[in-house]
A and B are shown apart, each in its own frame.
Chain A
């Protein structure tokens, strides 16, 4: 059955799974090595995470993305997916428009790149249009300014599928695999929780809030007993990619999110954790739209958006992402946003509650990410209302096993941790 992705277009799948055929296709192609960053995006394109784009974007698409938040054909699109290259590299690899080039990663074949266009684009205008600022303090702007002289646009075909390392192996699913699994589970509605966090109970409640909202008018009685079967679910889709010091390490994010299900805070048939390779751009509202697009391609029906979605510093208002999403005509985005307010601990209520429900505002104790991190760094087990003890144990385990003694990204982690995927010889 044909799968439909973002923009109502067929889900992009440009992956050669037959190794003999792949070897034949790449014979005699000139090769060009790519960074982890570019490899990640080539993989994302080929599996259809970024449907309907079929390759690195050409100038007309970049222009439309920046100026109108659309692709050249009018499909909603918020973040340029570009391949940058220096003039020196173009000369060294003798790259010309019309070339077919084999991209390699770690010395092994990764993907065929049909170079349809070589172009330049003003980086400052990308910064202003996408991030709303030209300040290079903004990490997305900094990344934009680091782009090399030119851009290459054209179709990507994956010829060698990535090998996902432990502990991520079972958490990486392609858009097709996501949809097949949802079908098996019988989930009619699925709400995305976008995360790059280890969950405290504030996050847990956001998920519950979004789940209940998404489930809405569907029947509930199937779920009355554990023997029943849920017809809707929460997909925690962790963003795995470029890290900054002080972030939680990806291993801890994925395993701790899953621990909520393993320890029964969510039922097995309701909750699932997967990951998407994506380097955060911190583009706030525009990044929220991009996340909605990715999750549409994964086959989700709903997407939770909280305050400060994908923002950084003080560049965006807390609910600016909500406003941008609300401005997009419903028929242009095939996923329903669920807007949620913060949840906090209220000593008066004696529970974690939604700040939009509880009337004891002066008493509320908000979950601050910094505060929770400080507690974890002090290795003090938080109260279970705030942070689940099983999750705490997993954080501590991950710290030892993957984080060189810290659950947060350190310089050592940046230098020594292996990427989540590798490309093996074909």
Chain B
């Protein structure tokens, strides 16, 4: 599998229930004593585009190997797209929509 540069979207209980009801709970991973996280993969070029669009964000190459510090509103939008599409492959659509 090609290397991905994911965006981690942490999921609260309300969203967890919504995802479960939509049959999407299997998209989630568990971390840190049961916290749920939606890991949305990006390719290298999607990553670069995201970092260009949101200069406050950073790719954390050292520890998490993910795109971090994206504003909540941005992640909310990505989350909504995942739910609507019932798939994690949303980054192209997302970038086009910005």
Residues of chain A whose beta carbon lies under 8 Å from any beta carbon of chain B: 246, 345, 347, 365, 367-371, 373-375, 377-383, 385-386
Contact = CB atoms under 8 A, between A and B. Distances in A.
B9 to A, nearest CB: 7
Given A347-B33, A383-B33, A378 B68 contact: no
A369 to B, nearest CB: 8
Among A370, A374, A382, A385, max chain B CB count under 10 A is at: A374
Interface string B48-88: 00000000001010011010111110010000000000000
10 contacts: A246-B69, A347-B33, A368-B64, A371-B8, A373-B68, A374-B66, A374-B69, A377-B70, A378-B72, A382-B35
Contact of B35 (A373, A377, A379, A383): A383
B94 interface: no
A23 to B, nearest CB: 48
Nearest to B9: A378
Given A246-B69, A368-B63, A368-B64, A374 B10 contact: yes
A370 B32 contact: no
B12 A381 contact: yes
A397 B58 CA distance: 25
A375 B68 contact: no
A377 B60 CA distance: 15
A385 B68 contact: no
Given A370-B63, A377-B72, 5 more contacts: A370-B64, A371-B64, A378-B10, A378-B75, A379-B72
Contacts of A367: 32
Contacts of B3: none
A86 to B, nearest CB: 33
B34 A377 contact: no
B32 A386 contact: yes
Q: How large is the interface on B (under 10, 10 to 19, 20 to 34, 35 or more residues)?
A: 20 to 34
Contacts, number: 57
Nearest to A375: B10
A347 B35 CA distance: 12
B63 A375 contact: no
Contacts of B35: 375, 380, 382-383, 386
Contacts of A380: 10-12, 35
Interface of B: 8-12, 31-35, 58, 60, 63-64, 66, 68-72, 75
Contact of A385 (B33, B58, B63, B71): B33
A275 B64 CA distance: 30
Contacts of B70: 377
Given A246-B69, A371-B64, A378-B72, A345 B32 contact: yes
Contacts of A368: 63-64
B32 A383 contact: yes
A403 to B, nearest CB: 14
A386 B63 CA distance: 18
A246 B60 CA distance: 13
Given A368-B63, A370-B60, A382 B68 contact: no
Among A367, A368, A378, A386, max chain B CB count under 10 A is at: A378
Contacts of A370: 60, 63-64, 68
Contacts of A379: 12, 72
Contacts of B63: 368-371
A379 B75 CA distance: 11
Closest 7 CB pairs of A and B: A380-B10, A378-B10, A385-B33, A383-B33, A368-B63, A380-B12, A375-B10
Nearest to A345: B33
A58 to B, nearest CB: 40
Contacts of B31: 365, 371
A368 B65 CA distance: 11
A165 B68 CA distance: 33
Given A370-B63, A370-B64, A377 B33 contact: no
Nearest to B75: A378
Given A368-B63, A380-B11, A380-B12, A374 B68 contact: yes
Among A246, A347, A380, A386, max chain B CB count under 10 A is at: A380
Nearest to A371: B64
A378 B12 CA distance: 9
Nearest to B30: A347
Contact of A373 (B12, B69, B72, B75): B69
B17 to A, nearest CB: 14
Nearest to A347: B33
A370 B9 CA distance: 13
Contact of B69 (A365, A375, A377, A386): A377
